[in-house]
Amino acid sequence: MLNITELDDLVCADLDRESLLQCALVNKEWYASVMPFLFKNIPELKTSHQKKSFRRLVLEDFHLKEAHRREKQHRKQRERRQKQRKKKREQQNQQQPQSTADVKNSGTDQQENHPPLSLLARYGSCIRTIPEVEEILSYLEAPMHRSGSRTPRPHESEEPVAFELLVSFLSRCNCLCLPLVKLNEDHFEDLDVLDLLATYIVPAALHLVLDVQDDPYHFCDSDDSDDELSSVDMQSEGSDDDPEERHPMSPWNFKQILACTSSKLEKLTVDVSSWDTTESDTEIEVAERKGFLTGLKELRIDRFGKELESIKSWDWLWKHATSLQNLRVERTFPELTASLIRGIAVHLQRLEKIHIGRKIVNTWNDRVHFRDAIIAKLLSAGRDYKSIYLDITARAGLDTIQAIARHFSTLTEFTIEIGTGDDSFLVGLLAFSPNLRKLVTIKNGEYPYVDDDFFPQVSAEKFADLDSGTKTYRPWACEATLETLHVKIVDIPIKYGSDKERRFSLQKRVYGRLARLTNLQVLWLGHCPTVPDVEGGEGGEIMGDIQEECLDLTLESGLAALGTLTRLRQLNLHDIYHDIGVAEVQWMVESWPELETIWAVEDRLAYDWLKRNHPSLVDKPIELSEDSEQDSSLSEDSFLSEDSFLSEDSEEDLSLSD
């Protein structure tokens, strides 16, 4: 359009497919500028006209490619015959001086007579995203009669099948960049499809998911096991194998697929329920693509299989994934843990974030996948972690607390969902972590049935952290950096108790400590977990985490000290027996100019005042956790899609030559 690539990019990037189509029909100059953008994202095709148009596009390219191939073959045959005749004439001493030139001229004439290029040949390199391979294969199926029989064609025997067209199409897409590629057990059982994916799709993946299950229709938490149970024990538990049990992926397949990735790959998710160890191909050398796994930044291991033979594959992965920065391990067994610890210590020198454990599947069944000693070894193996996340199935203790201390100087985020029994170490973490921006100890979500000490909690006395001699606040290294704080502060005498003086004294000390966190933007003093009632048994009432020994959060108790938190945006007070009234919410609105949300204002008059004067501060849904958002993204379609493709009427117009 403008004959300036950068400006064309700016203009066309904001146009939808229909607008691009109209621009391409203006004239030849606009056609040449717009067509690369029209081919950039191949959408999911919804109508029969779109599918027929797409099939014709691929079929035309296939036939022209075949014409090129036949012409090249014929040219080689002609050249071979000419050489044979020339050699024969030379032997007979009858070669004419001009004959050689004639041969050359005739060869030149033949080379100039090429079939025309198809649209895919010209713009296939512009394609970046495509639908799933199975979807494309369905688009390329031959049309059917209404009666169900195939449409008769004059050269039926020469008509390519859908798989051949798919290979031809993908061979044109040499610049693919796919946000998500998901391989399942069906892909590993069809060798032709697996080879196709390894050649064209896997190298283009930014996020590769290996979701291989021996029984994809069966999902439960029954296969979970404590980390203390070895792989040998797990194999003996499943000794009554079903002769028809599926084990689609072998350790060699695992390495083969990863060796086909490119430097584009940034994230890898592995969810393999079992491995095929019946074949003796684990020692076969894998053909490795240049630059494979060099760009890998994030690895998530969900299920890992139970076979010891897979350990060599994991050792191989650690050796090549040296750029890994973010590691999430949801379950493990001793042999895999040992392999992982070796890998972190020797190869994964750039590892900055580690997530240990996972969410629960059944709230009535409290699973533990990582115990204190294992967590401590994983944390001790690394150096300079910036983010540590201990999920629900990871249970920390004294060894873990000691291992965390080695990362205080670099730690920016720390999350622990289950208490250690003595969570006063959190004060030390706040005091000696100069780069800490986020500390989360209470969250929303589902938890197994628990007692009162299940969630991390810090006593008010320890949280205030006063020097016993001077009665002044000890300085915390994170006072100027901490932005997010989720903490449960307890052991404040109840409001109707006899120790009223100590109650107010403790609250003022806690307010004073919070007031020193001048960069704080998110403050959660309560949360809204979903836990079954132990007394009710299975199917009993769903309870929260009720706090009675908590802050009053009234001006009388010293709330005004928090006037220094001028950047505060969120305040969560779920399940706290606070006494916030109209005066308190008015003070919050005046003192915290950036305030966006207050959750759980119980007083009716205070709530009505906020609703009437500042409705944007109340009734907002509680935000999902980051993990829920990440998990939900895996269920989306693998590749980007648009609303429409080339319409049947417009395809003929776009086929005009430049």
CA atoms lying within 13 Å on the CB side of residue 153? 11
CA distance 315 to 258: 13
Give the DSSP H or E segment for 210. Answer: strand 207-212
* pLDDT at residue 370, as a whole number: 93
CA distance 24 to 10: 16
* pLDDT at residue 115, as a whole number: 61
Per-residue pLDDT tens over the stretch 271-323? 988 877 765 444 556 666 778 899 999 999 988 776 777 888 899 999 999 99
* pLDDT at residue 266, as a whole number: 96
* pLDDT at residue 410, as a whole number: 96
Considering just the CA atoms, what is the radius of gyration of the chain in Å?
33
Question: In the predicted model, is pLDDT for residue 617 greater than 80?
Answer: yes
CA distance 132 to 44: 9
Query: What rounded mean pLDDT belongs to the chain?
Result: 81
Q: What is the DSSP letter of 126?
A: G
**Of 357, 354, 360, nearest to 414 (Cα)?**
354
User: What number of other Cβ atoms are within 10 A of residue 81's Cβ?
Assistant: 10
Question: In the predicted model, is pLDDT for residue 101 greater than 60?
Answer: no
Mean pLDDT computed over 6-12 = 67
Q: Where residue 68 falls among pLDDT bands split at 50, 70, 90?
A: confident
For residue 529, what are the β-bridge partners? 445
* pLDDT at residue 3, as a whole number: 64
CA distance 307 to 249: 12
Question: In the predicted model, is pLDDT for residue 389 greater than 90?
Answer: yes
Q: Where residue 103 falls among pLDDT bands split at 50, 70, 90?
A: very low
* pLDDT at residue 640, as a whole number: 33
* pLDDT at residue 154, as a whole number: 47
Here the tokens at position 594 are 């950036």
* pLDDT at residue 641, as a whole number: 33
222 against 512, higher pLDDT: 512
* pLDDT at residue 451, as a whole number: 59
Q: Which strands form 445-446's sheet, in the order they lie side by side? A: 445-446, 529-532, 542-543
Here the tokens at position 211 are 């979701």
For residue 413, what are the β-bridge partners? 387, 438
446 against 5, higher pLDDT: 446
User: What number of other Cβ atoms are within 10 A of residue 359's Cβ?
Assistant: 16
Q: Where residue 158 falls among pLDDT bands split at 50, 70, 90?
A: low
Q: Where are the domains of the chain?
A: 407-619
Q: Let me know if 219 is exposed, middle or buried by CB neighbors in 10 A (0-12, 13-18, 19+).
A: exposed
Buried residues in 193-214 as b, exposed as e (16+ CB within 10 A): bbebbbebbbbbbebbbbbbbb
Q: Tell me the pTM.
A: 0.82
* pLDDT at residue 649, as a whole number: 44
Here the tokens at position 30 are 């606009």
Percentage of the chain lying above the pLDDT 70 cut: 76
Here the tokens at position 18 are 């229909």
* pLDDT at residue 287, as a whole number: 65
Give the DSSP H or E segment for 356. Answer: strand 353-356
In sequence order, the 6+-apart residues with CB closer than 8 A to the CB of 395 are 368, 370, 371, 372, 375, 418
* pLDDT at residue 622, as a whole number: 64
Angstrom distances, CA of residue 47 to CA of 44, 55, 249, 289, 643: 10, 13, 36, 39, 11
**Would residue 643 be called left, alpha or beta, if left means φ above 0 and alpha means ψ between -120 and 50 degrees?**
alpha
In sequence order, the 6+-apart residues with CB closer than 8 A to the CB of 171 are 200
Per-residue pLDDT tens over the stretch 211-257? 988 754 444 444 444 444 444 444 444 444 444 455 577 888 888 89
Q: Report the top-level CATH class of 407-619.
A: alpha beta
> What does 584-613 look like in DSSP terms, one character per residue?
HHHHHHHH-TT--EEE----HHHHHHHHHH
Mean pLDDT computed over 92-105 = 52
Per-residue pLDDT tens over the stretch 399-423? 999 999 999 999 999 999 999 988 9
Lowest pLDDT segment from 251-255, 272-276, 343-347, 550-554 = 272-276
CA distance 202 to 265: 9
* pLDDT at residue 9, as a whole number: 66
Question: In the predicted model, is pLDDT for residue 656 greater than 50?
Answer: no
* pLDDT at residue 478, as a whole number: 97
Mean pLDDT computed over 186-214 = 90
